[in-house]
Amino acid sequence: MEPNAPTENPASGRLQRRKATTRAAILAAASALFDRQGYDETSIVQVAEQADTGVGTVYGYFRSKEDLLGEVLKERSALATQEYLPQLAAFPDPVERMLAALRRFTTFIQDNRAILHAVFQVSTRPGAEAQPPGEQIFRILEEMLASGVQSGELRAVPVDTTARAIVGLHLMAILRIGIFRDRVDDSALIADLQAIARVLLEK
């Protein structure tokens, strides 16, 4: 006779649901505040007030405001990736598939400019814990590029460096960082970015 399967403790289940709800409320509060008033102008006290919880509770879920910022970006990136990754299958040509991914990435940057600016600034500080912005799309493009190079469908470029260069160029251009700070984020710029990526990728 097989032993009975373990049953979930109802109290434990309720606790886990409460924790998930509290964590989601903190992330939603931080996300809204970062968008509305900026990362540097937002305090953990304000996040706690907006989430209707205590400062200690916020720190119980997130080590720091920097950690909270990284989680906000990770959540937004994951949602965007879930939305557009299935759409890439409509592009059988590897170059067109990567260009489609980059167009979606461009839209993501435009829609999340304030958050990405903050992550970019925080990630360059000494001892920063935050991952640089664009990490998720870099991993996706790196995998697509490696597959295309290996199959001979894409130019035989150094995969890691090329993927980083393409993602970094898009971030700097759309966020208007460095040499791009005076460049208008317009359709011509986006077309230029696509043309540069095509030249790098096509055989």
Secondary structure (3-state) at 101: helix
Please report, as a single letter, which amino acid is at residue 14: R
Q: Render pLDDT for 91-132 as a digit per residue (tens, 0 to 9).
A: 999 999 999 999 999 999 999 998 998 888 887 777 666 666
Q: Given pLDDT bands bounded at 50, 70 and 90, which one contains residue 137?
A: confident
Pick the CATH number of 64-201 from 1.10.357.10, 3.40.50.1820, 1.10.3470.10, 1.10.10.10: 1.10.357.10
**Residue 1: its pLDDT value, please?**
42
Please tell me what DSSP assigns to residue 5. P
Q: Render pLDDT for 46-77 as a digit per residue (tens, 0 to 9).
A: 999 999 999 999 999 999 999 999 999 999 99
CA atoms within a 13 Å half-sphere pointing along the CA-CB vector of 105: 29
Pick the CATH number of 8-62 from 1.10.10.60, 3.40.190.10, 3.90.79.10, 1.10.510.10: 1.10.10.60
Alpha-carbon torsion 140, 96, 160, 74, what sign?
A: negative
| pTM (predicted TM-score) | 0.82
**Residue 123: its pLDDT value, please?**
76
Whether residue 80 contacts residue 133, with contact meaning beta carbons closer than 8 Å, is answered with no
Domain ranges of the chain: 8-62, 64-201
Higher pLDDT, 23 or 183: 23
